[in-house]
Amino acid sequence: MDKMSDVKLVKQLTKTRDQFNAEISKRVLGQQEIIDHILIALLCKGHTLLVGVPGLAKTLLIKSIAELLDLNFSRIQFTPDLMPSDITGTEIIEEDQNSGKREFRFFKGPIFGNIILADEINRTPPKTQAALLEAMQEHGVTTAGQTYVLEEPFFVLATQNPIEQEGTYPLPEAQLDRFMFNIKIDYPSHEDEVSIVKSTTSEDDKKLNTIINRNDLILYQDLVRRVPIADNVVDFAVELVSKTRPKSDKSSSAIKDWIDWGAGPRASQYLVLGAKAKAILDGRPAPEIDDIKALAKPVLRHRLITNFNAEAEGLSTDDILIKLLEEG
């Protein structure tokens, strides 16, 4: 595609982003940064992990986004007895009424949607988690030797409750790495909470209009890959990720003291892709180093494994990332 049509697409996307924000604010108040990050992940074909206590409108936010994008929405409530086939689908024997012949027929599970809400993903055993995570990686489901391709766009938003750990199955680091972002949802401000209470205790149920259709979204996803990026911005992203690795020559003594394992190359890829998406959402032709810095925490916080020293000093991965960005 020529540069001129790409420039038009960027302008169209920026205008669409403003319409999107105006429309979603009818139902979801505040949380603008979280909405922006989810949009970035959508444009990058990345999946997102949302971490927040119950009652912060995670489900409402995701369902509203699906409405605005005119996409099929599926919600999967993860429980200890959930089986892989409950997610992917199952085969049942069906008899042909004319011939009397019996054959297996595959009934698709809730994973065959466009936007999937995996609610409380850490409440289900690893075998079931793996079925979802395989679909996330391969964009397909294999059952009884047959592979079924998932319809694009395909986007998983998984949620976790940070305060309840009893009876949960924490996601292994290798599986956490498949999520582009780990987004922390905090309590709303006083002003936002007042508006939320007024809005949700009235009779007014606001309908949302479709802002982006399926074909346009795929066009924008392809556009992200074509966004040019300067070598120094890529170098900054790779160096930042290298600094999280205690065995790297570039890491500081503090990182060596606090971190057991740093982020892998996938983090660098997501930082660069995310910066490209952030730039065009803001109407800019190319990303800057500040775009990398702005996405460092959601991209890196679930990819660092802290050690006892960090815990003893009461340092979270966010605290360490703030210090890292101050150094850089």
- What CATH number does the domain containing 81 carry? 3.40.50.300
Which one of 171, 202, 226 terminates a domain?
A: 226
b/e for 166-184, b at 16 or more Cβ within 10 A? eebbebeeebbbbbbbbbe
Number of domains in the chain: 2
pLDDT block averages, 10 residues each, the chain of length 328: 72 89 82 89 92 77 85 88 88 76 81 89 87 85 82 89 72 84 85 79 75 88 92 94 87 85 92 95 91 94 88 86 82
54 shares its domain with 194: yes
3-class state of residue 94 by DSSP: strand
CATH number at residue 265: 1.10.8.80
212 shares its domain with 234: no
Closest CA to 46 of 286, 273, 275, 226: 273
What is the pLDDT at residue 9? 86
281 shares its domain with 213: no
202 shares its domain with 55: yes
What is the pLDDT at residue 273? 96
97 shares its domain with 178: yes
What is the pLDDT at residue 1? 43
Domain boundaries, position 287: 229-328
3-class state of residue 10 by DSSP: helix
207 shares its domain with 183: yes
53 shares its domain with 126: yes
Which one of 226, 251, 279 terminates a domain?
A: 226
117 shares its domain with 236: no
Handedness of CA 271, 276, 282, 284 (dihedral sign): positive
What is the pLDDT at residue 267? 94
135 shares its domain with 79: yes
What is the pLDDT at residue 235? 95
Look up the pTM and report it.
0.88
207 shares its domain with 256: no
At 288, the amino acid letter reads E
Which one of 226, 248, 268 terminates a domain?
A: 226
139 shares its domain with 185: yes
**β-strands 47-51, 155-160 pairing:** parallel
